[in-house]
Structure 1
Amino acid sequence: MYNCFESCSDACMNLLDALAGNTGASSIAELSLNPLFPRSYNSIYKARKESFNTTSQEANNEVEEEKEEPNNLIRVVSELIDQPQQRPFYLFALDTTPHPRPYAKTLADRGYIYQPNTIIGNKPINIGHSYSILSILPEKETGNAAPWSIPISGERVSLDKSGVEVGGEQISSVMCDSSLLWDEKLCILVADSAYSQRSFLFEQSKHKNLVVIARVRSNRIFYQSPIIDESNKKRGCPKKYGERFNLAEVETWHEPDETTLTQQTTRKGRILNITLLAWHQMLMRGTKDQKMYRHPFTLVRVHVTDDIGNSVWKPMWLVVIGDQREEISPLVAYQSFRQRFDIEHMFRFSKQRLLMTQFQTPDVEHEENWIRLVMLSYVQLWAAKELATHLPRPWERSKEQNNDKIVTPSVVQRDFHRIISEIGTPARSPKTRGNSIGRVQGQTKTPRTKHPVVKKPSKSTPNKQNTA
């Protein structure tokens, strides 16, 4: 990590240590009071500004640096990921998280973003930015293991793109890098229903070693593979789609190709019965450019009931698409998708404990740098989890000290100060530089430009042309 920063590497490393070992600071400036940050509070803002700064390069070199720098970070993080032992694939998760900035009138590229609201009746929207995060989900020794999700790529979703488009670019950069550990090895990507649209699945199907498991809405319409009758061959283009399969109409379903019954025991000891119905060689409608009939998939219906047969949740539908999808059983697909929710825990921990959305800046580049620094601080917690000891609070009597059965990010963060104090840091000690001369008397700064909030146009309705 120390070599990945463009400048101010010492201040950046101290900032990462202070952020990973933060247990009380509620603002960015308060991190300067952390013993792991032996610098003034001004160094925090300089480290954030200069950490991934490429403005000093020429225009052509600047574009190349921006393309190479995230890959350097991915290579550093990938060295901390162990090769899977219990499963023959690497598991990735992709999702977007909101970064609300409703009062930053001088912040460019703000728009309306989705943000969940707990108050009934309020619309789940806000004003600000959103970020697409790609992470790796490590193996779990037990079903009750800690929900770790190691971020490897974080990109801001600009107004001219969607979160799905940015996520597709992140996946392509990871899958096409031959220097990474998972090159030419089986990889699985789990994602929510937003990533089950045709355009995303078509692009990801080009990666031969990638299988996408995405949830789909219960009102989607798919098709069976057509039955080819060689004896009654007709002229013209052969039939590409078979019988209609409406997820909302049971009478359109045909007999499943595979049925799996299993049980799951929750942490509280509740037994759940899981029924998995799988239909192979299913198709979805495509376009002239996106010929989806060339990319069949497996459709899985997940129904969870309790011990008396009552439905616990609404049945869930999953799509398993990719050239190597046949190597993934319906049970493995369901278990892999359940682990996708670990990325939600990572989002919540980063915002509550790593101050992910607490940095208020009017510069878009500085905000993007801060998101990457938060991701790296989370990676440091993952790297130190084997050295952490559990330090329960005085009121946590039910937990035993030095219990390493479940090592969560919060447990590592409590003990991170001791770990870094014993191991040390590559950052050099700060030196006194003296006082700055400040501004010249009479010098004034130009007020920042206020940017309007931009609303993305709907893709279904074309823009209205101005008439003369």
Structure 2
Amino acid sequence: MMIIKDTAPSPLLDGSSRYLDRFRTGLYSCLTRRSEALFELTDAVACTGSPVNDLAHLSLEAEHPRGHGALYDALNSGVIDAGGLRSLTCTGTLPRILGPDGRGRLVLAVDVSNWLRPDAATSAERSFCHTYARGHGQAQMIPGWPYSFVCALESGASSWTALLDAVRIRPGEDATAATAGQLRTVVEELTRAGHYREGDPEVLIVMDAGYDVVRLAWLLDDLPVILIGRLRSDRVFYAPAGTRQGPTKGRPPRHGTKLVLRDAATHPEPAVVTGNDTPRYGHVEASAFARMHPKIDSRGGWKAHEGQLPVMEGTVVGLRVEYLPGNRDPKPVWLWVSKPVPDSGTELDHWWSMVIRRFDLEHTFRFMKQALGWTRPRLRDPAAADRWTWLIIAAHTQLRLARPLAADHRLPWQKPLATTMLTPARVRAGYRRICLTAVHPAREPKPIRPGPGRPKGRKNRVKAAVQPIGKPTKG
């Protein structure tokens, strides 16, 4: 079947179900083996009214007429065209955020979420994942599968994001290079789909402090993107070098005056300063130090760099808020933006407000894990985990496309919500009614007798090998 490209402006402006039908038709064409069972498994995840705790109970849902054996066989032996599914998620309607110039722009967020598998000694390609337990200083390294997700953000406080891609970071892999390749693929897919055209505002990409935003800016320098990354407070940056001082001859300097983030005495006069009063954070003051670059040394991902190391200029943004929820004396937040000089104070405020919108992705991770059951299955094969991850993305995308069609089917103790304010959980509560009228390209199952399985009393003589645990490199 052909994937029908969606060129309509937004699903929120039209209450029809054709956007959802187009996605479901395209999804079925991306399932190239065990397509019926995989498609029905996606419907079962989206339609069930309770949190997904295991795979076997999904085979009891009305949307999955096949048995539990077909379900496990589809995950273990099925084939999903991940590239085609990525193109499908990037082709559909995506949210845009109003930029400082009054035009809508795409804002992407990238982050890693871990599928922890500490007891799966026979599962291959596990890495030590950095996790935070409750309490201060309770960071732990737990074996699991780290997945890098890319999503499109919406304007305003929302628990909705448009998931676009997911890539599992393998042991020993350069995490920065893998993220750069993932972002490059997504931006190219968005360009092919017509979401970005020449003359449009650059695509904004926000990320947390765990990323090497400077190296990512170097690897993605040829793309129309602006990267914004949070910085640790112990970072040091430098102003442009200028001309050599003194009468002696020698190599011209590469670094100017030093800017130590935690030392206010080293801060120069900011290029732009803005102040705003917000209901949640009180008075917010943002200062932009233009054309600041870090000192890059030949370690990590820069070790294989040929020639002289580059000087990557950007804007260092210091953000100070009056208070945070539960914290009346917050520390300043530091950002680095790949654009060397902000055009105006309006653009500066737009940058830090998009960093706040990045936290909407955390709501998506919680919904995927607690409601859709992304990390619940005890799968051994990492390829099966990849298939299940893409099915979760497909289920979440269908819920997002069904927002204008959903009504508020709330529980008795839940407060009523307007149809424009429905959360992913509220849409999922009524999605079964929407799915009944949607297109179903999967064929009906043929009744056959089940196989005999393993004879009673005979044990499995082929034991799985214990797999080593690796660790991805940050680069």
TM bucket (normalised to shorter chain) is: 0.7 to 0.9
Q: In 1, Cα distance between the equivalents of 2:136 and 2:285?
A: 33
Q: Would the alpha carbon gap of residues 458 and 189 (structure 1) be closer, same or farther in structure 2, given more than 3 Å must change? A: closer
Alignment of 1:353 with 2:371, yes or no, is yes
Partner of 2:435: 420
- Which of 60, 85, 90 matches 1:73? 85
Q: In 1, Cα distance between the equivalents of 2:89 and 2:249?
A: 56
Q: In 1, Cα distance between the equivalents of 2:471 and 2:379?
A: 21
Letter in 1 for 2:273: T
Q: State the number of aligned residues.
A: 429
Structure 1 residue 326: deviation in Å?
A: 4.5
The aligned runs of 1:165-314 (5 Å cut-off) are 165-177=177-189, 178-183=191-196, 184=198, 185=200, 186-204=202-220, 206-228=221-243, 237-266=251-280, 272-287=282-297, 289=305, 294-306=311-323, 312-314=329-331
Structure 1 residue 342: deviation in Å?
A: 0.9
Q: Would the alpha carbon gap of residues 149 and 233 (structure 1) be closer, same or farther in structure 2, given more than 3 Å must change? A: farther
Over aligned residues, Cα RMSD in angstroms? 2.9
Alignment of 1:113 with 2:140, yes or no, is no
Structure 1 residue 16: deviation in Å?
A: 0.9
Structure 1 residue 447: deviation in Å?
A: 1.3
Task: Give ranges in structure 2 of 5+ residues lacking alignment.
Answer: 1-26, 299-304
Structure 1 residue 197: deviation in Å?
A: 5.0
Q: Secondary structure at the match of 1:95?
A: strand
Q: Would the alpha carbon gap of residues 15 and 456 (structure 1) be closer, same or farther in structure 2, given more than 3 Å must change? A: closer
Q: TM-score normalised to the size of structure 1?
A: 0.84
Q: Would the alpha carbon gap of residues 119 and 246 (structure 1) be closer, same or farther in structure 2, given more than 3 Å must change? A: closer
Letter in 2 for 1:113: C
Structure 1 residue 159: deviation in Å?
A: 0.8
Identity of aligned residues (%): 24
The aligned runs of 1:385-424 (5 Å cut-off) are 385-396=403-414, 399-400=415-416, 403-424=418-439
Kept in 1: contact 2:31–2:39 (CA 8 A): no
Deviates more, 1:37-46 or 1:374-383: 37-46
Show CA shifts across 1:22-63 (max 9, x none).
22242111111222222211222122234426xxxxxxxxxx
Q: Would the alpha carbon gap of residues 210 and 120 (structure 1) be closer, same or farther in structure 2, given more than 3 Å must change? A: closer
Partner of 2:399: 381
Kept in 2: contact 1:211–1:324 (CA 8 A): no
Letter in 2 for 1:301: G
Q: In 1, Cα distance between the equivalents of 2:426 and 2:208?
A: 29
Partner of 1:464: none
Partner of 1:320: 337
Kept in 2: contact 1:196–1:215 (CA 8 A): no
Deviates more, 1:212-221 or 1:30-39: 30-39
Q: In 2, Cα distance between the equivalents of 1:217 and 1:258?
A: 21
Kept in 1: contact 2:318–2:335 (CA 8 A): yes
- Which of 38, 43, 54 matches 2:70? 43
Task: Give ranges in structure 1 of 5+ residues lacking alignment.
Answer: 54-68, 460-468
Structure 1 residue 245: deviation in Å?
A: 0.6
Q: Would the alpha carbon gap of residues 179 and 405 (structure 1) be closer, same or farther in structure 2, given more than 3 Å must change? A: closer
Q: Would the alpha carbon gap of residues 214 and 181 (structure 1) be closer, same or farther in structure 2, given more than 3 Å must change? A: same
